[in-house]
Amino acid sequence: MIYFGCDYYPEQWSQWLAEGEARWETDAALMAEAGFNTVRLAEFAWGLLEPAQGQFDFGWLDRAIDVLGRHGLKIVLCTPTPAPPPWLLAAHPEIMQVDAYGRHLGPGTRREACANQPAYRERSRIIVEKIAARYADNPHVIGWQTDNEFGCHDTARCHCEICTDRFHHWLQERHGDLELLNQNWGTAFWGEFYLDWNQIPTPNASAAERNPSHILDFYRFSSDTWRAYHNEQIAILRRLCPNHFVTHNLMFFFPDLDAYDLSENLDFASWDNYHFHGATPALVAAAHDHIWGVMERNFWVMEQQAGQINWSVYNPLPEPNFVRLKTYQGIGHGADGIIYFRWRQALGGSEQYHSGVLDYAGRKTQSYAEIAQIGQELKELAPKLEGTVPSAEVAILLDFDSRWVLQNQPHNSLLRMDHANDFTLENPAVRMDREDEPDERYMTGRAWIAWPYLAAYIALWEANVPAAIVAPNTDLSRYKIVCAPFLNLLRPDVVENLRRFVKNGGTLILGPRAGVKDQDNKLFPIPQPGPLADLAGTTVRYMDSLAPERRNELRWSRAVTRMGRQSPIGLWAEILEPEEGTQVIATYTEGWYSGKAGITYKFHEEGGKVIYVGCMGGPMLYHALFGWLLPEHGIYALMPSMPGVEICARVHQDGRRILFLLNHTSKTQYLSLSAPTTDILSGEQFDRSIILQPGEVRVIEEKNR
């Protein structure tokens, strides 16, 4: 089943409109008309459900659920804890977060509360218990979303007195004693030696740079804080609502919290998909695959953009077919639920310019028409997708410790791996393989962003080769090739996992900066890539951080490209020293390290292979590398690639595939077919080629493989 619906705020419309609750019937009828079967409710309704301490009012929510249920709509309820009510903030002003400058966040919005504050924790437990007990047996309620977007608005890390005290306890549990902490942090530098736990501050604003080990542990502590807060809610829901699923809506590659830990006790992960300024089809595809990889299972899009957003740099009106294209992109990558945000554009509050399925006047939008079309199409498609999952033979490792390390010490500002620091791939040092003017629709306003760790993913996406994005300590046995771009920090469990993968015959691609830091964020006292040097068969002798205007090139060996192809590189270059028996497969062509190794290859007797990529060349570099590697591993594209046309697949247990063909360009595209086929969505038949109009989607089922 595909869960298909919207995020709805009935409490707002009963206040804003003279018709009051009567509007709910109209909305429910329109939702059913659009083919919806699911509605999400109550994520910010704490102040209405508990208008004063200990006084609960669920009557309005009971009535709203009843109205929606009578129209055949199932309900996903939220724990309403992201927006503590005014009475709680007034009674306990200490629960408001403190930023790195010692300033309290102001009340009157959302996400201002600190997860370590006892009053907030206690009242959160009470409201979650009350709402869970109230609806545990309601026939219309099928599941729960916990809270909302943990950490958004820079609220993942708090510096209040309670957090400082809890941080000290967390450090004691992690390091055991102060002598070991001083050793692990390297506090001899600047004479930072601690004699008492209470001497250790949170890494708040300071005159000079903080100890990077100190910062990393605070990031870990902060992530663990929200993990513990989250797990309390999950435990309550499991106890009181054992027949309901539990999920949480994550955000687009959000860097501040460890998504793997935060999601560990969920039934499946969800995320909120907004095509902000600079996002591209490839990056949105990567985000879908990342959320799938958080738990290695199908997921939901709990907030799917339905029109304009209100918070990006620019907020253009999406073109026709945008919503349909993004919906099927999500389903093609493993989404079993698509919930549109929001049902109707708000009349009041801070999100007034955020579009809905209906506009602020209650009129149907272009999105409503597209959604209604999807609702009809899913009647045919959804049964065929039952039991299908994405399947990939290539994995890309995304490690939160390494992200946090590189946030703090990028050594090149364009490598700062955070959510906000994006840059255009039109920069010649970043994206140098597009000689022709890119298609406007494909490039989403010509503004590509791509964090460096996604270069390999983008190359695979452009070649229509599926890729998973997973944790570095996950079971890698299902994959033939594993890419570890920017695995800057190496924990012992990760080292062992990668060794096991190579020993069992896998091919590991290590990217630049690999193995520089130990688990405490200190440099290894051995050459990079540290404990993986013997596995890689090479070490890094020097590293060069390149300004955007500096250029270099790689010359590939003929073993990789028979024509002696060259690839431009920028931003980062490492000069490698391979050991005997390790092949050099690419060398630099410019500067004092011209002719020196930039990429090496080592074959292990067990059959495994390790490639060390010591530089950044964007997707072009990986196109060359994968052009050599993929055929050797029997990995092939889902269909021949065409710029701007995405092919993704969901696979049955018997290997049969359902292919999603998505035209992200403004041009009509023609794809060659190996056999006649039928578009499941339209019923249209195709013989030797299939036609994709601008922004169009086709879904076909392979009969035999």
Please answer whether residues 216 and 408 qualify as being in contact, where contact means their C-beta atoms are separated by less than 8 angstroms. Answer: yes
Residues serving a catalytic function are: 149, 303
Integer Cα distance of 352 and 347 in angstroms? 6
In this predicted structure, which of 54-68, 254-268, 303-317, 521-535 has the lowest mean pLDDT? 303-317
Tokens of 155: 């609220």
Residue ending a domain, choose from 584, 604, 632 = 632
pLDDT tens by residue, 581-600: 999 999 999 999 999 999 99
Maximal CA-CA distance, the chain:
81
pLDDT tens by residue, 375-425: 999 999 999 999 999 999 999 999 999 999 999 999 988 787 654 434 333
Looking at the fold, whether 686 and 601 belong to one and the same domain comes out as: no
> Is 216 a member of any domain?
no
> Is 186 a member of any domain?
no
pLDDT of residue 313: 85
Please answer whether residues 507 and 611 qualify as being in contact, where contact means their C-beta atoms are separated by less than 8 angstroms. Answer: yes
pLDDT tens by residue, 451-498: 567 899 999 999 999 999 999 999 999 999 999 999 999 999 999 999
pLDDT of residue 557: 93
Residue 58 C-alpha from the chain's centroid: 34
What DSSP line would sit under 318-357, residue for residue?
PPTTHHHHHHHHHHHTTEEEEEEE-SB--SSSTTTTS--S
Looking at the fold, whether 488 and 540 belong to one and the same domain comes out as: yes
Integer Cα distance of 48 and 61 in angstroms? 9
Looking at the fold, whether 593 and 471 belong to one and the same domain comes out as: yes
CB-based contacts of 386: which residues, under 8 Å, 6+ apart? 1
What's the pTM?
Answer: 0.95
Looking at the fold, whether 602 and 454 belong to one and the same domain comes out as: yes
pLDDT tens by residue, 639-695: 998 999 999 999 999 999 999 999 999 999 999 998 899 999 999 999 989 999 999
- Selection from 587, 607, 584, 617 nearest residue 458 by Cα: 617
- Selection from 167, 77, 72 nearest residue 114 by Cα: 167
> Is 233 a member of any domain?
no
- Selection from 491, 497, 276, 467 nearest residue 404 by Cα: 491
Tokens of 695: 């922004």
Residue ending a domain, choose from 366, 385, 404 = 385
pLDDT of residue 564: 61
Looking at the fold, whether 664 and 622 belong to one and the same domain comes out as: no
pLDDT tens by residue, 152-200: 999 999 999 999 999 999 999 999 999 999 999 999 999 999 999 999 9
Please answer whether residues 95 and 63 qualify as being in contact, where contact means their C-beta atoms are separated by less than 8 angstroms. Answer: no
Mean pLDDT of 35-41: 98
Give the burial class of 653: count Cβ atoms within 10 A of its Cβ; 0-12 exposed, 13-18 middle, 19 or more buried. Answer: exposed
- Selection from 145, 140, 5 nearest residue 65 by Cα: 140
Tokens of 282: 């490839």
Question: Which CATH number does the domain housing residue 666 bear?
Answer: 2.60.40.1180
Average pLDDT of the chain to the nearest whole number: 93
Looking at the fold, whether 315 and 249 belong to one and the same domain comes out as: yes
> Is 613 a member of any domain?
yes
What are the CA-CA distances from residue 667 to residues 448, 459, 461, 467, 670 (Å)?
A: 19, 22, 19, 26, 10
Integer Cα distance of 700 and 689 in angstroms? 12
Tokens of 409: 């010490």
| Residue 568 main-chain phi, psi, to 5 deg | -70, 145
Residue 251 has pLDDT above 80, yes or no: yes
> Is 48 a member of any domain?
yes
Looking at the fold, whether 417 and 496 belong to one and the same domain comes out as: yes
What DSSP line would sit under 527-572, residue for residue?
-TTGGGHHHHTEEEEEEEEPPTT--EEEEE-TTT-TT--EEEE-SE
Which carries the bigger pLDDT value, residue 560 or residue 78? Answer: 78
Number of domains in the chain: 3
Range of the domain at 85: 3-155+245-385
- Selection from 100, 113, 96, 105 nearest residue 215 by Cα: 100
Count the Cβ atoms, other than its own, within 10 Å of residue 134.
17
> Is 452 a member of any domain?
yes
Question: Which CATH number does the domain housing residue 436 bear?
Answer: 3.40.50.880
**Bridging pattern class, strands 394-397 and 468-470:** parallel
Integer Cα distance of 10 and 132 in angstroms? 19
Looking at the fold, whether 556 and 613 belong to one and the same domain comes out as: yes
Which carries the bigger pLDDT value, residue 419 or residue 96? Answer: 96
pLDDT of residue 94: 97
450: confidence class by pLDDT, cuts 50, 70, 90:
very low
pLDDT of residue 426: 35
Integer Cα distance of 144 and 455 in angstroms? 35
**Bridging pattern class, strands 335-341 and 299-305:** parallel
Tokens of 62: 């009971």
> Is 109 a member of any domain?
yes
- Selection from 14, 73, 82, 13 nearest residue 45 by Cα: 82
Looking at the fold, whether 271 and 398 belong to one and the same domain comes out as: no
Mean pLDDT of 563-574: 85
What are the CA-CA distances from residue 64 to residues 42, 82, 344 (Å)?
A: 10, 21, 16
**Bridging pattern class, strands 141-145 and 245-247:** parallel
Which carries the bigger pLDDT value, residue 704 or residue 414? Answer: 414
CB-based contacts of 313: which residues, under 8 Å, 6+ apart? 276, 277, 278
Residue 447 has pLDDT above 70, yes or no: no
- Selection from 571, 562, 578 nearest residue 624 by Cα: 562
3-class state of residue 677 by DSSP: strand
Question: Which CATH number does the domain housing residue 265 bear?
Answer: 3.20.20.80
Residue appearing with tokens 């969901």: 650
pLDDT of residue 210: 96
Looking at the fold, whether 57 and 106 belong to one and the same domain comes out as: yes
Residue 487 C-alpha from the chain's centroid: 17
Report the phi/psi class of residue 176: left, alpha or beta, with left for phi > 0 and alpha for psi in -120 to 50.
left
pLDDT of residue 630: 97
Integer Cα distance of 390 and 282 in angstroms? 16
pLDDT of residue 423: 35
How many residues does this entry show for the chain? 705
pLDDT tens by residue, 524-554: 999 999 999 999 999 999 999 999 888 899 9
Integer Cα distance of 6 and 323 in angstroms? 13
Residue 219 has pLDDT above 50, yes or no: yes
> Is 217 a member of any domain?
no
Integer Cα distance of 628 and 622 in angstroms? 10
Report the phi/psi class of residue 607: left, alpha or beta, with left for phi > 0 and alpha for psi in -120 to 50.
left
Looking at the fold, whether 254 and 366 belong to one and the same domain comes out as: yes
Residue ending a domain, choose from 332, 351, 385 = 385
Give the burial class of 470: count Cβ atoms within 10 A of its Cβ; 0-12 exposed, 13-18 middle, 19 or more buried. Answer: buried
3-class state of residue 196 by DSSP: coil
Looking at the fold, whether 504 and 590 belong to one and the same domain comes out as: yes
Integer Cα distance of 223 and 111 in angstroms? 15
What are the CA-CA distances from residue 65 to residues 4, 27, 49, 477 (Å)?
A: 17, 12, 14, 45
pLDDT of residue 230: 98
